[in-house]
Structure 1
């Protein structure tokens, strides 16, 4: 059977000539099997293509009706493959930008939780404060910090005990951390943690922010303490793993390779599916090598 006898080529396909030959053979077979006569050879275009047309288009109805369905399936399969390729590309990008991705996803997750809470439950504070807060975080998520920060500040000033104002403290801390105003960021994060708001994920994110500030000040012990609190609070394993990764790096900055190795081994044992697994595994082998050089330990 001809290789291309069951499908039609996409225009521009290099195999179109071969397909035309296959189609011609198939049409001749169809004419004979159906006992049809009068295959039209008069068309110059058809002669040039090496194709024959049946006078009443019976072949077209028979053959192309079926093959157009097949082409639809082929197109769906092609789209599926393209989608799969895009997913793989996205995953490769995520693996190369794990830390940025986790931070971004964390902030967006906080935004989603905030929206869910304020749309599903009432508040004893002014409805306008809820609406203004939701508008502010949506603007903040899209990069409009000018208007959103003004709203956060106003909420903190006018409704300091409201959930909206307490959450605003977190975003003010995050905003100042992003622009490098570390003292202001630290002040807002601590005010948020002291506000009494019951939100484990947001609290964990605040402790992670404080850890970043502490590392910048070279207060490594304090940074590790903050990350341990974040790990205890955060309900998601992906972020727990990320905090352990950060602790490993901080122990290395302190020169405490044994503790860094301990954290790395714990990470590799618990988080085999995490995007940072390969990086931590390599770091673990390096730390074992350092230990071997200094102490003569085995490299298992």
Structure 2
């Protein structure tokens, strides 16, 4: 014979841990309802801001990339001033983007082509100081900065920049080229010992490079 189900009392229901937790949670929500709503709204607002920031950043990168492409085209057509105008606007409006960083480098290059060596010096230096993601462009910026100083007859400063770039990228295939330029500028600055040292490094450290023979020739002339 089946036994009748035992009826659960209200007291037993109240003593059930899960039920107790449920009612406590309801009481907490009722008591702190306004704060919970405010917190939820704050979280949603923060999420919205993150989404909008991400969208804005993508849009800025896209616009900056488009401007960079236009500037490169103008440079390829020898319309240097047009390229400079595009780049200046892009660097100002899209600062922080990858394309803006490249724009700073291109401004140095464009001003150099225009013959404005002081501004070329400024932008090449700015690229070296502020950006280091692209070793090829940083190397190019050292070369451009040295050349800008050289064009202003600042041979000692140019030599030091070339040498600094060569040391920073000593494993790069462009390092011996920078050392040769440093040696030449040290000669122009009448710093013969430093010039010899640069040529000697090329001979010893970059014996496989195409600059070794030139370095040996220049060193022999200085030792004659």
| TM-score w.r.t. length of structure 1 | 0.49
Greater Cα shift, 223-232 or 164-173: 223-232
Structure with the larger helix share: 2
Look up the match of 2:140.
205
Q: Partners of 1:141 and 1:233 in 2: how far apart?
A: 30
Aligned-partner SS, 1:213? helix
Displacement of 1:144 = 4.5
Change (3 A) 1:123 1:287: farther
Look up the match of 1:154.
89
Question: What are the residue-to-residue correspondences of 1:4-153 with 2, within 5 Å?
Answer: 123=58, 125-141=60-76, 143-153=78-88
1:228 is aligned, of 154, 163, 174, to 163
Cα shift readout 1:142-166 (whole Å, capped 9, x = no counterpart)? 5443543332122012112222122
Look up the match of 1:247.
182
Cα shift readout 1:40-74 (whole Å, capped 9, x = no counterpart)? xxxxxxxxxxxxxxxxxxxxxxxxxxxxxxxxxxx
Contact 1:224-1:247 within 8 A present in 2 as well? yes
Q: Partners of 1:163 and 1:255 in 2: how far apart?
A: 41
Displacement of 1:169 = 1.3
Change (3 A) 1:146 1:236: farther
How many residues are treated as equivalent by the alignment?
168
Displacement of 1:173 = 0.9
Look up the match of 1:173.
108
Please tell me the root mean square deviation across aligned C-alpha atoms, in Å: 2.6
Look up the match of 1:282.
217
Greater Cα shift, 248-257 or 218-227: 218-227
Instruction: Name segments (4+ residues, structure 1) moved above 4 Å.
Output: none
Q: Extract unaligned runs of 5+ from structure 2.
A: 1-56
| TM-score w.r.t. length of structure 2 | 0.64
Contact 2:117-2:149 within 8 A present in 1 as well? no
Q: Partners of 1:131 and 1:281 in 2: how far apart?
A: 47
Contact 1:173-1:188 within 8 A present in 2 as well? yes
Cα shift readout 1:201-232 (whole Å, capped 9, x = no counterpart)? 21222222222232334433322321133113
Change (3 A) 1:274 1:142: farther
Q: Extract unaligned runs of 5+ from structure 1.
A: 1-121, 290-300
1:273 paired with 2:208, answer yes
Change (3 A) 1:203 1:258: same
